[in-house]
Amino acid sequence: MQWKISVIFSFFNEEDVLEELLQRMAAMFASLGEDYTYELIFVNDRSTDSSLDILTRHTQQDKRVKVVNMSRNFGVSECTLAGMKFASGDAVVIMDTDLQDPPEVIPQMIRKWHEEKADIVYTVRTAREGEPAAKMLATKLGYKILHYISSIDLPIESGDFKLMSKRVVAQIIRLEETGPFLRGLARWVGFKQVPVHYKRDSRHAGDTHYIFYSSRVLKNFLSGVTSFSDAPLYLIFVLGLIVSSGAFLFLIAVIFMKYLGWNLPGWSAIMATLLTFGGIQISSLGIIGLYIAKIHMEVKRRPNFIVDNTIGFEGKSVVVSYREQESFTCDK
């Protein structure tokens, strides 16, 4: 039996790495033998460099290389979902374009998929080369927070580099969740999931688009929290009980001291109390606001992405919005 593997790359301005990536992908699949065919789906998040020109040239030379162009910049998760809807493989691999996730790990993932009859083979990083200590610390802290407060079991040091069976992909793309947190959705759908451990390499070339102190990273973290955890809301409730109990005890102490004729602290103590309570109230409103914003985005029912055009799909028709059941026919 021959198996088809679809590999999805969401990318933005990766002209420095594409040639090396394509060579290593071809060599990796060649090592698997004739039992496997493949397609490489590159989802272009509106790149402004020569990435599209490079890939267009390769689509003319190799029918297994395909491109999906977004109508604007939508983000990594949204582009990955777009690639899933165009994928036709028996299994789908999601990975970064910058070669930090080595293509040579994919054969291990395929073996796990077959040998353990797993629907998802996720990767766990044992080491991360070429990344600053501050980023490593912030990343580990973020992973641990998500792991402990999420309603699902999110493995620490497991990113979006994974293999998924066709039925898992079908379940994920039908969810149509706004601002999707893919690594969380992959755990949420269930099925049998097994790990593969690997060492993450440093970026092959070019500059990273994922700076740990950027708003993009914070947005991704908050998306994970609001999508899969209501712990912050419970924290507000508990904090409110603690503060209210403390205020009640303080009131009793004030009455007691007044009765004894003791002098009470003046303006400084009052201001400190007001600022403390005010800070707690503002923080609580901010957390509630995040969840309201999530609800607001969901009820608007906008699609996660809009496809401009495609290259290399030979007239294949796919559904690009399960909400509206609209079909999109590829132009080439």
Length of the chain: 332
- Within 10 A of 126 (CB to CB), how many other CB atoms are there? 10
Taking residues 212-239, report their average pLDDT. 66
Does the reported pTM lie above 0.75? no
Query: How far is the C-alpha of 102 from the C-alpha of 99, rounded, in Å?
Result: 6
The pLDDT assigned to 119 comes to 93
More confident residue, 325 or 101: 101
Cβ atoms of residues 227 and 155 within 8 Å: no
Q: Any bridge partners for residue 2, and if so which?
A: none
Cβ atoms of residues 26 and 58 within 8 Å: no
Query: How far is the C-alpha of 161 from the C-alpha of 106, rounded, in Å?
Result: 10
The pLDDT assigned to 218 comes to 66
Q: Output the CATH code of domain 3-211+303-329.
A: 3.90.550.10
Taking 80 as the threshold, does the pLDDT of residue 88 lie above it? yes
Taking 80 as the threshold, does the pLDDT of residue 107 lie above it? yes
Query: How far is the C-alpha of 193 from the C-alpha of 121, rounded, in Å?
Result: 6
Residue 247 neighbours by CB under 8 Å, 6+ apart: none
Q: What letter does residue 108 receive in the DSSP assignment? A: H
Cα-based angle 8, 185, 82 (whole degrees, multiple of 5): 35
Taking 80 as the threshold, does the pLDDT of residue 152 lie above it? no
Helix (H) or strand (E) holding 197: strand 193-200
For 42-69, the pLDDT digits (tens) are 999 999 899 999 999 999 999 999 999 9
Task: Name the nearest CA neighbour of 4 among 28, 40, 31.
Answer: 40
Query: How far is the C-alpha of 270 from the C-alpha of 277, rounded, in Å?
Result: 11
> For a pLDDT cut of 70, what percent of the chain falls above it?
72
More confident residue, 242 or 266: 242
Query: How far is the C-alpha of 320 from the C-alpha of 328, rounded, in Å?
Result: 6
Tokens 């599209």 belong to residue: 52
Identify the burial level of 86 via C-beta atoms within 10 angstroms of its C-beta, where 0-12 means exposed, 13-18 middle and 19 or more buried.
buried
Taking residues 254-269, report their average pLDDT. 65
What is the average pLDDT value for the chain, to the nearest integer?
A: 79
Question: Which amino acid is located at 196 in the chain?
Answer: V
The pLDDT assigned to 54 comes to 93
Taking residues 244-257, report their average pLDDT. 70
Measured CA to CA in angstroms, residue 246 lies from 68, 100, 251, 277, 330 at distances of 58, 51, 9, 11, 64
Taking residues 236-253, report their average pLDDT. 72
The pLDDT assigned to 69 comes to 93
Helix (H) or strand (E) holding 289: helix 267-300
For 184-213, the pLDDT digits (tens) are 788 888 889 999 988 887 665 555 555 555
- Of 14-23, 89-98, 145-154, 187-196, least confident by mean pLDDT is 145-154
As given in the structure block, the two tokens for residue 11 are 């990318």
For 236, phi and psi rounded to 5 degrees? -60, -45
As given in the structure block, the two tokens for residue 74 are 């939508």
Cβ atoms of residues 36 and 91 within 8 Å: no
